[in-house]
Amino acid sequence: MRSHFLTLMLAAAISSGALVGASHSADEPAPAEKAEDAAASAASGAGKKSPIDVVNGAEKGTLKNPFDWKDPEIVKEGHKIYMGLSCNGCHGGGGGGGMCPPLTNETWVYGGDDDTLFRLIVLGSKDLQAAGYARKGQEGVVGPMPPYKDIVDDSDRIWKAVAWIRSVWGGRKEKITW
Ligand code: HEC
């Protein structure tokens, strides 16, 4: 009985040793999975991710706002963020422009899709152009948009501000690409 027990212990020790060995190789795919998760959340911009990581972690044209701009709570929060980041100092409290281009009209300087707006806000005009995004639209006022990459550490805040911008946009429905 006793020797049987020892045999079991030995078997358990061996198999746990084997498990340690196995868990090593099982560890290897884990970081890959994590990287996949990170890529997925970078693509959607979901979660507390630094905006610059989101920008650098996703291919051009692939970023999508994870928030619903038709949700009044998100829009309300987005406007608070917009005001809190002093975007209104240049674009006006309602987004109608002033010193800087309006966010409410049909003209988009680089394009109006989520990807372009997110990158423009994070990188600013200069780095956005360096990343291969060209000016296509001409607004009445031309100037550089400052980068927010060192000011905002949570990409969700930028996405919510973008959701608010969608809510005040006054263009024709058929022009909506987001
Ligand atoms: C110092 C002034 C300034 C501030 C502050 C500023 N912007 Fe801008 N923004 C600009 C200028 C100038 C442009 C046009 C950029 C260009 O032509 O390259 C612009 C462009 C944009 C555009 C694209 C508009 C279009 O018609 O294509 C969006 C969207 C935008 N800004 C959002 C924001 C948000 C959100 C914030 C706050 C987080 C912000 N801006 C803060 C000056 C500013």
Q: Averaged over 26-51, what is the pLDDT?
A: 56
Residue 60 lies in a domain: no
Q: Are residue 82 and residue 163 in the same domain, yes or no?
A: yes
Name the closest-CA residue to atom 11, ligand 1.
145
DSSP SS3 for 64 = coil
For every residue of 52-70, DSSP letters joined together read HHHHHTS-TT-----S-TT
**pLDDT at residue 62 above 90?**
yes
Q: Are residue 33 and residue 113 in the same domain, yes or no?
A: no
Distances (CA, A) of 59 to 40, 43, 47: 12, 8, 18
Residue 130 lies in a domain: yes
CA angle 143, 177, 135 (to 5 degrees): 25
* Top-confidence residue, 152 or 40: 152
Q: Are residue 91 and residue 143 in the same domain, yes or no?
A: yes
- Give the span between the Cα atoms of 69 and 95, in whole angstroms: 15
- Give the span between the Cα atoms of 24 and 12, in whole angstroms: 18
Residue 124 lies in a domain: yes
Residue 131 lies in a domain: yes
Name the closest-CA residue to atom 8, ligand 1.
145
Full domain range(s) for residue 165: 72-175
Q: Are residue 28 and residue 112 in the same domain, yes or no?
A: no
Tokens 């990459």 belong to residue:
149
Q: For 4, phi and psi rounded to 5 degrees?
A: -65, -40
Q: Are residue 39 and residue 125 in the same domain, yes or no?
A: no
The pLDDT tens digits for 134-155 are: 999 988 888 899 999 999 999 9
Query: What are the structure tokens assigned to 134, written together?
Result: 């060209």
Q: How far, in Å, from the CA of 7 to the mean position of ligand 1?
A: 73
DSSP H helices in 131-173: 155-168
3-12, 54-63, 102-111, 164-173: segment of lowest average pLDDT = 3-12
Looking at the CA of residue 112, tell me the nearest atom of ligand 1. 27
Q: Are residue 17 and residue 91 in the same domain, yes or no?
A: no
pTM, two decimals, is 0.79
The conformation of residue 134, written as its DSSP 8-state character, comes to P
CA of residue 78 relative to chain centroid, distance: 14
List the CATH number of the domain containing 130. 1.10.760.10
Residue 57 lies in a domain: no
Q: How far, in Å, from the CA of 88 to the mean position of ligand 1?
A: 10
Q: Are residue 153 and residue 104 in the same domain, yes or no?
A: yes
42-46, 52-56, 154-158: segment of lowest average pLDDT = 42-46
Q: Are residue 37 and residue 80 in the same domain, yes or no?
A: no
**Sign of the CA dihedral 57, 164, 93, 102?**
positive
Name the closest-CA residue to atom 40, ligand 1.
87
Do 120 and 146 form a contact (C-beta atoms < 8 A)? Answer: no
Counting the structural domains of the chain, the total is: 2
Tally of CA atoms within 13 A in the half-sphere of 84 that contains its CB: 12
Enumerate residues lining ligand 1, CB below 6 A. 82, 85-87, 89-91, 100-101, 103, 107-109, 117, 120-121, 125, 139, 142-146, 148, 161, 165
Q: How far, in Å, from the CA of 97 to the mean position of ligand 1?
A: 9
Residue 100 lies in a domain: yes
* Top-confidence residue, 1 or 72: 72
